[in-house]
Amino acid sequence: MTLHVDIPEETLASILAKALRNRSFLIGLAITALVAAVAILSYVWTPYDVTRLVISDKTQSPSLAHWFGTDHFGRDILSMIMVGARNSIAVALVAVGIGMGVGVPLGAFAAARGGLIDEVLMRMNDLVFAFPALLSAIMITAIFGPGAINAIIAIGIFNIPVFARVARAGALAIWPREFILAARAAGKGSTLITIEHILPNIATLLLVQGTIQFALGILAEAGLSYVGLGAQPPMPSWGRMLFDAQTRMVVAPWMAIFPGMAIVVTVLGLNLLGDGIADILDPKSRRQR
């Protein structure tokens, strides 16, 4: 007899129960939800209008009127962070979408076909992977002009090989299983098998990778707008707020601290969320927590 320590089978309820006991998942989820809520709120309400410059109020330290202070044009930092969140999330989300949308089919196709096609696709992947992502994103935006759209495309392209690799590795582990053989014996082709059997079985893997890439996307967007290649003024973005704060660090440290905190907290939240999901769905970590 094998050592059948019965791993409790997964149901939606049991996963939920485990999620509620997982600290990093809960904290991550709370932070992510907060950031998302703030971004949505910014569409209907912000404390101040971020496009109105009030020079008389410039570089005020945090107060009751301006919780996070004001910048060198007298704009309210809290309002800018709220609007900036929406920009960060949009860029990262669409970039992850591009990465998944192209990368996953590519990886799954490579795994299904194998042989030369697999080899060629994955080597092309390696080629894209070999470029430092941010540097190449700068190159792309430099050629096609700065702006949120180009930033999205640039970050998205570099998400493709990541998802392609994860999808291929996951799919390769599923392909030799007997239920795939059974599906083939039932006359199903590789496309249908991929859709029906492979993708549902690697979905959790992709979900975890998705949250990690989402966090990296936010960092990348901040990096691009820091060098002036992201969203253009007057649209506020966290990266550019940091850039503006750089020369005024000594006079108005809050101009750097709060956008910086926004980036750190968001990325931390997403990483915790990803960790948490991975823990919850990983059968091996099930007994420890």
Partner 1 sequence: MSLLEIENLSLAIGDTPILKGVELSVAPGEVMGLVGESGSGKSMTALTVMQLLPFAARATGRVTFDGIDILAASEDQMCALRGDDIGMVFQEPMTALNPVKTIGEQVAEGIRWHTRSSRAEAEDRARKMLDRVGLPAALFPLSRYPHELSGGQRQRVVIAIACALKPKLLIADEPTTALDVVLQAQILDLLRDLVAENRMGLLLISHDLAVVTEMADRITILRHGEVMEAGDTARTLSEQLHPYTRQLAQASMHVPARPKTHAAGSAKPLLQVEGVTRDYPGRRMSLFKRATPVRAVDDVSLSIAPGQSVALVGRSGCGKSTLARMILALDRSTSGTIRFRGETITGKSETELKPARRDMQVVFQDPYGSFDPRQKVEKLVAEPLHVLDKKPAPAERREMVAHALHEVGLGPRDMDKYPHEFSGGQRQRLSIARAIITRPKLVVADEPVSALDVSIRAQILDLFAELNQKLGIAYLFITHDLTVARAITDEVLVMHDGRIVERGMTSEVLDHPQSEAAKALVAAAPDLHRAIARRLQEQG
- Under the binding rule (CB under 8 A), the answer on residue 4 touching partner 1 is yes
- Our CA dihedral for 141, 87, 202, 281, rounded to 10 degrees, sits at 140
Quick one: which segment of 4-12, 59-67, 95-103, 230-238 binds partner 1 (CB under 8 A)?
4-12
Contacting range for partner 1; rule: CB under 8 A; set: 57-65, 71-79, 153-161, 193-201:
193-201
d(CA 89, CA 95): 10
Name beta bridge partners: 76. Answer: 70
Q: Of the two residues 120 and 192, which places its CB atom closer to partner 1 in the complex?
A: 192
Q: Which of 151, 183, 212, 220 binds partner 1 (CB under 8 A)?
A: 183
Any contact of residue 181 with partner 1 (CB under 8 A)?
A: yes
Q: Give the containing element (helix H, strand E) for 202.
A: helix 199-226
Please say whether the beta carbons of 159 and 82 come within 8 A.
no
Site for partner 1 in 199-258 (CB under 8 A): 200-201
Which range binds partner 1 by CB under 8 A, 101-109, 119-127, 196-204, 221-229? 196-204
Q: Which helix (H) or strand (E) holds 153?
A: helix 148-174
Minimum CB separation of residue 282 from partner 1 in Å reads 15
C-alpha pair distances (Å), 213 with each of 61, 93, 182: 35, 9, 35
Contact criterion met (CB below 8 Å) for 193 and 178: no
Q: Which of 114, 132, 145, 189 binds partner 1 (CB under 8 A)?
A: 189
Answer for which of 45, 187, 250, 283 binds partner 1 (CB under 8 A) is 187
Q: Is 132 helix (H, G, I), strand (E, B) or coil?
A: coil
Tell me, by CB under 8 A, how many residues bind partner 1. Answer: 24
Contact positions vs partner 1 (CB under 8 A): 1-5, 9, 177-179, 181-189, 192, 196-197, 200-201, 287
